Amino acid sequence: MSRAKRVTARGRDNATTAPAAQPAKKPAGAAKPKQKAPRPAPQPGDRLLTAPVFIMSSVRSGSTLLRVLLDTHSQIHAPHELHLRSVKVQLANSYVTKAMKELGADADELQYLLWDRILHRELVRHGKTVLVNKTPSDAFIWRRIKEAWPDARFIYLLRNPAAVTDSWHRARPSWSRQQIVEDVARYITAVEECRQNVDGLTVRYEEITADPEAATRSICEFLGLEWEPGMLEYGEADHGDFRAGLGDWSGAIKSGRVQAARELTDSEIPPELTKVATAWGYLPR
């Protein structure tokens, strides 16, 4: 595959599986579980942002590096991690719940309005046209993101799970190896679930570090923007503080230039991560 072109991924392998066990019969007259009605699409004026972009990645996958490369583009604003998952709206009593219902809004819709307002404010404040949001925990709310912005675009940032585990263990030395593996498994499983259900552009950390020009060119093409050579000199621009909670805070990211991928001393992929590693092409099928 050409390095300048990335593959969008969708669909599942046609693996043969054993027949599913038959569910136990429900007692006669048992009530059927209530299913949540589909949320109506946003109406004109509900969203200020148009086609926001979300980077779906695990922790320690190079998302901060990708963020600053994109943020250096004259038309892309990619803020530090915003943790939208934890930005919530509470309707404190029945009166306000009824009042909002009369407006056609519930707590979810009000939360989406708030998310949209935060991101749009950032975009306008920086005078750019494309908003790229990156927070690894966004992978856990991809359905809500698509519900909030049906026109949202996704970039899937992949990295060898062995390297992710190694990097996360170095960043969290007090955690046991098992804790690290279980945490990484949560992230990469969520990213792959989203990748199987929503079209997007797939890029790899290893490709970004090996040939940042080709990688950023493919992303600009995906976003409908002209590539800018200055993107590779991200250290020349102000991207805010690099500290824990806002993204990567290592010396590599603070150097202001793309660093070569770290050599792995232990390249073995933990058994818990082999399924996704295979789907991502880091293990033979």
**Rounded to two decimals, what is the model's pTM?**
0.83
Residues 6+ apart with CB under 8 A from 29: none
Q: What is the pLDDT of residue 254?
A: 77
Give the C-alpha separation, 229 to 59, whole Å: 27
Containing structural domain, residue 75: 53-279
How many domains does the chain divide into? Answer: 1
Give bridge partners of residue 201 from the DSSP assignment: 155
* Structural domain includes residue 89: yes
**What's the confidence (pLDDT) of residue 84?**
96
Q: Is residue 149 part of a domain?
A: yes
73 in a structural domain: yes
With respect to residue 137, please indicate whether it lies within any of the assigned structural domains: yes
The predicted structure's pLDDT at residue 267: 65
**CATH code at position 145:** 3.40.50.300
> Of 170, 137, 138, which Cα lies nearest the Cα of 154?
138
Tens of each residue's pLDDT in the chain, 285 residues = 444 444 343 433 333 334 444 444 544 554 555 566 677 778 778 999 999 999 999 999 999 999 999 999 999 999 999 999 999 999 999 999 999 999 989 999 999 999 999 999 999 999 999 999 999 999 999 999 999 999 999 999 999 999 999 999 989 999 999 999 999 999 999 999 999 999 999 999 999 999 999 999 999 999 999 999 999 999 888 888 888 887 887 878 878 788 888 777 556 899 999 999 999 999 987
Residue 32 falls inside a structural domain: no
Asked if residue 269 belongs to a domain, the reply is yes
Looking only at Cα atoms, what is the longest distance across the chain? 70
Cβ-contact 187, 141 below 8 angstroms? no
Q: Which two tokens stand for residue 241?
A: 């503080």
**Residue 260 maps to a domain:** yes
Q: Does residue 14 lie within any of the structural domains?
A: no
| pLDDT for res 15 | 38
